[in-house]
Amino acid sequence: MDKSALHVISLVSVGAHPTSGRPRRAEQDARAVELGLQLAGDNLHVLHAGDAEEPALRGYLGMGVDELHVLAQPPGADALPGLADYIRESGVQLVLTGSQAETGEGSGMLPYLLAEKLGWPLVVGMAEVESMSNGTAQVLQALPRGQRRRLKVRLPFLATVDNSAPKPRQSAYGPAQRGLLDVEEIDVVIDEVFAGAELTPAKPRPKRLKVIKAKSGADRMKAATAKASGGGGQVLKGVTAQEGAAAILKLLVEEGVVR
Amino acid sequence: MLNTLLPILLFAALGLALIGVLRRVSLWRNGRAAKVDLLGGLLAMPKRYMVDLHHVVARDKYIANTHVATAGGAVASIILAILVHGFGLHNRVLGYALLLMSAVMFVGAIFMYLRRRHPPSRLSKGPWMRLPKSLLAFSGSFFVVTLPVAGVLPANFGGWLLAIILGIGLLWGVCELFLGMTWGGPMKHAFAGALHLAWHRRPERFGGGRSTGLKPLDLTDRTAPLGVEKPKDFTWNQLLGFDACVQCGKCEAACPAFAAGQPLNPKKLIQDMVVGLAGGTDANFAGSPYPSLDGMGKPIGEHGGNPHQPIVNGLVDADTLWSCTTCRACVEECPMMIEHVDAIVDMRRHLTLEKGATPNKGAEVLENLIATDNPGGFAPGGRMNWAADLNLEVMSHKKTVDVLFWVGDGAFDMRNQRTLRAFVKVLKAARVDFAVLGLEERDSGDVARRLGDEATFQMLARRNIQTLAQYDFKRIVTCDPHSFHVLKNEYGAFEGHYVVQHHSTYLAELIADGALNVGQHKGTSVTYHDPCYLGRYNGEYQAPRDVLRALGIEVKEMVRSGFRSRCCGGGGGAPITDIPGKQRIPDMRMDDIRETGAELVAVGCPQCTAMLEGVVEPRPMIKDIAELVADALFEETAPAKPAAARREPAEAH
Ligand code: SF4
Ligand code: SF4
């Protein structure tokens, strides 16, 4: 892959340390930058929508990024329209982002909404880009239990990274201090839904009971390490969209998600 | 014949030596500026040489006496030879003086030669094996040519043959001494060493002083490099210091990382810096290489550099720099008073601050320090959990107190919590008016600084100093020698000046004042492990031993104790960077401990405790001094029951 020919944007947000809650570079966003640096080198474009004064942003510059572009936004503003406009005009081939922000709403919806708005494909949990040529990319998507799925995606596309993506490099003080923040004022769109909402601390989600019927140590190990994967899955092949949708709806009703 | 040639030889050599001086000085001047008292240093130099340097050399009596004879004889002989044979002052008295001095030098050189017959591995070979012979040639030839001047023998005795032999001897000796001095031969150590003593970067070390705190980087100066990338980023007097090395290998013999087979040899490192400042490769290095895992040592001759080339991955590999535990054993042993640790940390600073290349857990620890003020990344709110049931006074309530107990990050470590609780028990028994900072305390910055992260160190230091500034206390006492060192010696540069004591010092005081009612230690025989940051860094060897003696313990000293104590392997972030070697440093230290036959080793540092307890059993037990004292306390509630009713509520022991 020719690094200089590749145009990649990594979207970053301000994170929060899990035990102290102090601002820091967000873990997954840092992985998005790391992957971006490995793909595009110095060509990587790092983009943030929010407050340019936040010192934690320098954590990304410390990874060896010369410049960080900031779309200035007050807290509570909807980052989506500004980001979508910026990305659409940038002529970029790949946009990388973490799966979920550590601060703010943290709904994990941004990549989906952004992809929808841009009309681009979205790869969730991308672990590696294997090749890029002729307007398509071959990538590996991370699945539970270390499994990988090889996907062919047409460019441009959007991808989220999670903990299967390469570990972010150390952020160094010198480059972090020297790096530039390129701030751009954009129209502020107040997020009405968010502004009107009330935030309460999250409660841990109840876990599904796992009944372990293991006979051997290896089985127990598997049961202990496996993510709950349902098991009762059903592969629908060669059905019409209507049939597919009906099957999904039926499942959702059965599971009590839709009433 | 010789009478005409000799002055020419002498003055020609002097002239060439002078050119060598200019060249060498220009090499040093590649370095950055440093604040040095040029004249004062020069004036103080003879005393520094004769007192401070000799004090270190005198630990080995043989070499001390040999060096006095050889060096003293050489300096006097050179001056006299220039007068007598250079300027032709054929005066009898001068002649006899020269005879005497060259004879003294000759005797010294003989002993030097004898020592070199079976040189220990720490000594460099190569040109250093030639040196005693050159000195013999110099002193012997000058002795003989001076005999006629003193009137002992007639002029022109011995005829042509002797004249030729003498001529060769004189040429050899004069070249080694005059040219070798300034053009990079073994005698360079005399010239560079003298100036290094004069313009040392830590002049406080002379006259019995101590200077061990790392020097701060000026982070506000955007033009200054963040640490040392290339040899020219050292200050000029650091470069000069490297040039003073005599390759005696005392540092190599003391270095725990070298002994453990990690890829570090402080002597080689200093010689690599010399290669860097002068330009070239390490092909001529004739000492022990950096150890490698296959036991063969890293090959010599593959590394090189010059003042303007990055050091790491040209001249020195990064793992060499990260192997160091900053134990200062090398600095303590170095007869030339070279500052290895400063140089190593300077280069680490570049790797961490510019390259973001702190190995292994380094990056994670530094991130944790930034985000949680402790290296483990624990929730800062848990800092006082260890004392949940102790009802400790907190400074934010108390404001004024006699003793501020600095807890340190050991608060998060279950093993160290036992030590902390023991110390609190002792403080309470002695009715000391003390308090802790509680949740306001942060990591002292020790590990961040040794890992080269000066920025995080300064952030932590500034915030701690700010916190401490709000309160009134007479002294800070801590169970952690690392916090102790940083608070005492490194916060001063940021306007944090305090009276700081290690708990062993404070305990010794309490016992001496009769404030503590201690009984006798029961059973087991005990040895004591000196922590580097208490001993070599701060000179406290006595207080822990006094405390142990008060408990009725007779310390079974290890061979390597006091200023020669071997590091436990826990300093300088070494457990974090974790560079592999053939064996582990704490295992070697445990062998030292086992050698004494002691069943228990007393320690005074959470790092030492952790490292030594990490050695697999069976091994001697490890106990902190505070625990030993707490165990030996006479319980206050012992007297008859009725009396207890009138007493103050019993303390929770
Ligand atoms: S400080 Fe200790 S570990 Fe580091 S080089 Fe010196 S002796 Fe070796
Ligand atoms: S650095 Fe010091 S102790 Fe080490 S070899 Fe050189 S002079 Fe000797």
* Helix, coil or strand: residue B622: strand
Instruction: Report the pLDDT averaged over residues B349-355.
Output: 97
Instruction: Report the pLDDT averaged over residues B451-474.
Output: 97
Tell me the pLDDT tens digit for each residue of B299-347: 999 999 999 999 999 999 999 999 999 999 999 999 999 999 999 999 9
Is any atom of ligand 1 closer than 6 Å to the C-beta of B255?
A: yes
- Among residues B389, B490, B480, B406, the alpha carbon closest in space to that of B441 is found at B406
The predicted pLDDT at position B61 comes to 92
The predicted pLDDT at position B158 comes to 75
Residue B642 binned pLDDT confidence (cut-offs 50, 70, 90): very low
Residue A172 binned pLDDT confidence (cut-offs 50, 70, 90): very high
The predicted pLDDT at position B641 comes to 44
What gap in Å lies between CA B135 and CA B144, rounded to an integer? Answer: 14
What gap in Å lies between CA B118 and CA B114, rounded to an integer? Answer: 8
Instruction: Report the pLDDT averaged over residues B13-26.
Output: 95
* Element containing residue B305 per DSSP (H, E): strand B304-305
Query: Looking at the predicted structure, is the pLDDT value of residue A222 above 80?
Result: no
Query: pTM of the prediction?
Result: 0.91
**How many contacts, defined by CB atoms under 8 Å, are there between A and B?**
53
| B622 within 8 A of B609, measured Cβ to Cβ | yes
Residue nearest to atom 4 of ligand 1 (CA): B324
Is the CB of A173 less than 8 angstroms away from the CB of B377?
A: no
Query: Looking at the predicted structure, is the pLDDT value of residue B468 above 50?
Result: yes
More confident residue, B640 or A13: A13
Is any atom of ligand 1 closer than 6 Å to the C-beta of B291?
A: no
What gap in Å lies between CA B180 and CA B188, rounded to an integer? Answer: 6
Task: Report the alpha-carbon angle B330-B335-B336, nearest 5.
Answer: 95
What gap in Å lies between CA B604 and CA B545, rounded to an integer? Answer: 11
Is the CB of B372 less than 8 angstroms away from the CB of A169?
A: no
The predicted pLDDT at position B159 comes to 79
Position of tokens 């040095």? Answer: B36
The predicted pLDDT at position B161 comes to 85
What is the pairing mode between strands A45-50 and A136-142? unpaired
Helix residue ranges, H only, A41-162: 58-61, 79-90, 110-118
What is the pairing mode between strands A136-142 and A126-133? antiparallel
Burial (CB count within 10 angstroms: exposed 0-12, middle 13-18, buried 19+), residue B207: exposed
The predicted pLDDT at position A3 comes to 65
Backbone region of residue A119 per phi and psi (left: phi > 0; alpha: psi in -120 to 50; beta: other values): left
| A159 within 8 A of A136, measured Cβ to Cβ | no
Q: Is A27 in CB contact (< 8 Å) with chain B?
A: no
Instruction: Report the pLDDT averaged over residues B598-615.
Output: 96
Burial (CB count within 10 angstroms: exposed 0-12, middle 13-18, buried 19+), residue A162: middle
Structure tokens at A73: 């936004």
Q: Which residues of B touch A174 (CB under 8 A)?
A: 226, 353-354
For residue A10, list its beta bridge partners.
Answer: A46, A96
What gap in Å lies between CA B624 and CA B626, rounded to an integer? Answer: 5
What gap in Å lies between CA B550 and CA B511, rounded to an integer? Answer: 8
Is the CB of A173 less than 8 angstroms away from the CB of B367?
A: no
Please tell me whether the peptide bond between B203 and the residue prior to it is cis, using omega within 30 degrees of 0.
no
| B6 within 8 A of B85, measured Cβ to Cβ | yes
What gap in Å lies between CA A156 and CA A92, rounded to an integer? Answer: 7
DSSP of B94-149? HHHHHHHHHHHHHHHHHHHHHHTTS--TTS--THHHHHHHHHHHHHHHHHHHHTTT
Query: Looking at the predicted structure, is the pLDDT value of residue A136 above 50?
Result: yes
- Domain ranges, ordered by start, for chain A: 8-195
Give me the residue from A17, A20, A62 closest to B356, CB to CB.
A62
The predicted pLDDT at position B643 comes to 43
Tell me the pLDDT tens digit for each residue of B374-424: 999 999 999 999 999 999 999 999 999 999 999 999 999 999 999 999 999
The predicted pLDDT at position B640 comes to 43
Residue A215 binned pLDDT confidence (cut-offs 50, 70, 90): confident
Q: Is A22 in CB contact (< 8 Å) with chain B?
A: yes
For residue A128, list its beta bridge partners.
Answer: A140
Please tell me whether the peptide bond between A156 and the residue prior to it is cis, using omega within 30 degrees of 0.
yes
| A62 within 8 A of A176, measured Cβ to Cβ | yes
Position of tokens 């059993």? Answer: B617
Q: Is A227 in CB contact (< 8 Å) with chain B?
A: no
Is the CB of A173 less than 8 angstroms away from the CB of B379?
A: no
Structure tokens at A224: 């202990």
Query: Looking at the predicted structure, is the pLDDT value of residue B257 above 50?
Result: yes
What gap in Å lies between CA B142 and CA B153, rounded to an integer? Answer: 14
* Helix, coil or strand: residue A94: strand
The predicted pLDDT at position B639 comes to 46
Structure tokens at B156: 């022109």
Instruction: Report the pLDDT averaged over residues B573-588.
Output: 96
Would you tell me the crossing angle of helices B414-429 and B625-632 to the nearest 10 degrees? 50
CA B467 to chain centre: 32
Tell me the pLDDT tens digit for each residue of A75-115: 888 899 999 999 999 999 999 999 999 988 888 999 999 99
Q: Which residues of A touch B456 (CB under 8 A)?
A: 173
Residue B645 binned pLDDT confidence (cut-offs 50, 70, 90): very low
| Backbone phi and psi for residue B226, each to the nearest 5 degrees, phi listed first | -85, 85
Is any atom of ligand 1 closer than 6 Å to the C-beta of B326?
A: yes
β strands within A113-236, DSSP E: 122-123, 126-133, 136-142, 148-154, 157-161, 180-185
| B380 within 8 A of A20, measured Cβ to Cβ | yes
- DSSP conformation class of B359: T
Write b or e for each residue in A18-38: b if 16 or more Cβ atoms lie within 10 A of its Cβ, otherwise e.
ebbeebbbbbbbbbbbbbbbb
- DSSP conformation class of B505: H
Structure tokens at A43: 């060509």
Residue nearest to atom 7 of ligand 2 (CA): B245
Query: Looking at the predicted structure, is the pLDDT value of residue B535 above 70?
Result: yes
* Helix, coil or strand: residue B355: helix
* Element containing residue A69 per DSSP (H, E): strand A67-72
The predicted pLDDT at position A34 comes to 97
Query: Looking at the predicted structure, is the pLDDT value of residue B638 above 50?
Result: no
Query: Looking at the predicted structure, is the pLDDT value of residue B555 above 50?
Result: yes
Task: Report the alpha-carbon angle B6-B71-B100, nearest 5.
Answer: 60
Q: Which residues of B touch A64 (CB under 8 A)?
A: 356
The predicted pLDDT at position B652 comes to 57
Percentages (nearest 5) of helix, strand, coil residues in chain B: 55, 5, 40
- DSSP conformation class of A15: E
What gap in Å lies between CA B377 and CA B395, rounded to an integer? Answer: 24
Is the CB of A22 less than 8 angstroms away from the CB of B371?
A: yes
What gap in Å lies between CA B485 and CA A194, rounded to an integer? Answer: 51
| B502 within 8 A of B478, measured Cβ to Cβ | yes
- Which residues form ligand 2's pocket by a CB distance below 6 Å? B 245-251, 266-267, 270, 333-336, 338
The predicted pLDDT at position B511 comes to 95
Mutate to test the interface with A, among B349, B360, B367 (most CBs of A within 10 A): B367
The predicted pLDDT at position A151 comes to 95
* Helix, coil or strand: residue B419: helix
Q: Is A24 in CB contact (< 8 Å) with chain B?
A: yes
Helix residue ranges, H only, A123-240: 173-178, 192-196, 217-225
Length of chain B measured in residues: 653
Q: Is A64 in CB contact (< 8 Å) with chain B?
A: yes
Structure tokens at B478: 């801590």
- Among residues A105, A76, A97, the alpha carbon closest in space to that of A202 is found at A105
Query: Looking at the predicted structure, is the pLDDT value of residue B107 above 50?
Result: yes
Tell me the pLDDT tens digit for each residue of B132-142: 999 999 999 99
Question: Which H, E and C letters describe B19-42, residue by residue?
Answer: HHHHHHHHHHCCCECCCCCHHHHH
Query: Looking at the predicted structure, is the pLDDT value of residue B582 above 80?
Result: yes
Give me the residue from B357, B378, B379 closest to A170, CB to CB.
B357
- Among residues B9, B536, B576, B601, the alpha carbon closest in space to that of B324 is found at B576
Residue type, B240: L
Residue B576 binned pLDDT confidence (cut-offs 50, 70, 90): very high
What is each CA distance from B48 to B21, B237, B603, in whole angstroms?
Answer: 22, 16, 35
For a mutational test of ligand 2's pocket, the pick from B122, B239, B246, i.e. the residue with the most ligand atoms closer than 8 A to its C-beta, is B246
Mean predicted lDDT score pLDDT of chain B: 93
What gap in Å lies between CA B513 and CA B333, rounded to an integer? Answer: 36
Residue type, B316: V
What gap in Å lies between CA B239 and CA B314, rounded to an integer? Answer: 18
What gap in Å lies between CA B468 and CA B405, rounded to an integer? Answer: 12
Share of chain B above pLDDT 90, in %: 88
Instruction: Report the pLDDT averaged over residues B536-548.
Output: 96
Percentages (nearest 5) of helix, strand, coil residues in chain A: 35, 25, 40
* CA distance to partner chain B, nearest, from residue A84 (Å): 32
Instruction: Report the pLDDT averaged over residues B570-597.
Output: 96
What gap in Å lies between CA B493 and CA B480, rounded to an integer? Answer: 21
CATH class, range A8-195: alpha beta
* Helix, coil or strand: residue B499: coil
Q: Note every long-range contact of B164-167, with CB atoms under 8 Å and residues 24 or more positions apart, other chains counting.
A: B166/B2, B166/B141, B167/B2, B167/B5
- Complex-level ipTM: 0.88
